[in-house]
Structure 1
Amino acid sequence: MKIKHSILFVFVLFLIISCDKKRVFDEYKSVGNTWHKDSIVSFDLPKLDPKKSFNLYVNVRDNDDYPFNNLFLIVSLEQPNRQTKVDTLEYQMTNPDGTLLGDGFSDIKESKLFYKGKAAFTQKGIYKVHIKHANRQTGKIEGVTSLPGISDVGFRIESTE
């Protein structure tokens, strides 16, 4: 009986992986139970074909402890020549009734948040991505110190072909 379950598991895993043909890079990092405002999540990107273009996404796993409708992120794309392109982004995280957007069957939802389309990586060397949150409470200047409800932050690269 164990062999049948193992074969079934391998088959299901193979189906999941093979259905994701556009994926070039997909990695998550845990931020614990809360995401501190000074915690920067960083990724070293793999070598990418300079003749191709790619769609870039920030992935977020959140749960019902997330207290806001929106999520504000500062995403920095560091190029091999040390030039850095910085974007401040806002994403809708809940439906109008307050339920979380995203995929998942439990109280943990996974959101694939569009970052850049048709990006090219033409320089030789290592590209890095740095992500931090920039949430603020209404009427407050200082950012939220600890952002509850976010457990993992990821970065995904997909082929445009």
Structure 2
Amino acid sequence: MKRKAKYFLLGCISMALIGCDNQLIYEENQKFDDNIWVYEDPKTFEFDIVDSLLPVKLFINLRNTTDYPYSNIYLFLHSSYPNGYNDIDTLEFFLADPKGTWLGDNSGTVVENRAMISKGVFPTTGTYKFTLEQAMRNDSLPELLDIGMRVELMVEE
């Protein structure tokens, strides 16, 4: 009897570990050289959507240090769809509140942020391409570690 309970417990733990992030469709993060995002270094992300009926959420990930000199960051988001549609959006990403407290998950000197920028369905199947550019007034932004995109299934809550 004890042996069955042990196998059952092991099975439950295994299933929990396997299903930890079953909503994830795509995630990629790209590092900045010397922790500086220069204007001439846009980051591009491409992924395939195979089912245009599944509702998803689209996120931007950003990691910075606590020495990042601003409370926000402006980004240009260039979107290219498989049907030939192209678009450019300007996004503002708040990283700290007005008192200077970091908004993301703070682990020592690293702050991890994730902001949802869209939710719904992709209009068609195929390869989507998104390019992120920093749109601040400085050509070089210090203390930024990496930026990324994440696509996950939208589950009913």
Give the structure with the larger strand fraction. Answer: 2
C-alpha displacement at 1:83, in angstroms? 1.8
2:84 & 2:39 partners in 1: Cα distance? 24
Amino acid at match of 2:134: H
Following superposition, the deviation at residue 20 of structure 1 comes to 2.3
Give aligned-pair identity as a percent: 30
Is the CA contact 2:29–2:148 (under 8 Å) kept in the aligned structure 1?
Answer: yes
- Inter-partner Cα distance in structure 2 for 1:23 and 1:124: 17
For residues 49 and 125 of structure 2, the distance between their equivalents in structure 1, rounded to whole angstroms, comes to 8
1:134 has 2:135 as partner: yes
Q: Who wins on radius of gyration, i.e. which is larger?
A: 2
CA distances 1:32-85 after superposition (whole Å, capped 9, x unpaired): 210001211001113331111211011000012211111111112211133212
Structure 1 partner of 2:141: 147
| Alpha-carbon separation, structure 1, partners of 2:29 and 2:126 | 22
Is contact 1:74–1:132 with CA below 8 Å preserved after alignment? yes
Aligned residues: 141
Unaligned runs of 5+ in 2: 1-12
| Native 8 Å contact 1:63 1:107 kept in 2 | yes
Which structure 2 residues correspond to residues 3-152 of structure 1 after superposition, within 5 A? 15=17, 18-32=19-33, 33-118=35-120, 120-136=121-137, 144-152=138-146
Distance in 2 of aligned mates of 1:157 and 1:124: 14
2:133 partner letter: K
What is the TM-score normalised by the length of structure 2? 0.81
The residue type paired with residue 61 of structure 1 is R
RMSD: 1.9
Unaligned stretches of 5+ in structure 1? 1-10, 137-143
CA distance in 2, matches of 1:124, 1:48: 5
8 Å CA contact 1:48, 1:121 repeated in 2: no
2:152 corresponds to: 158
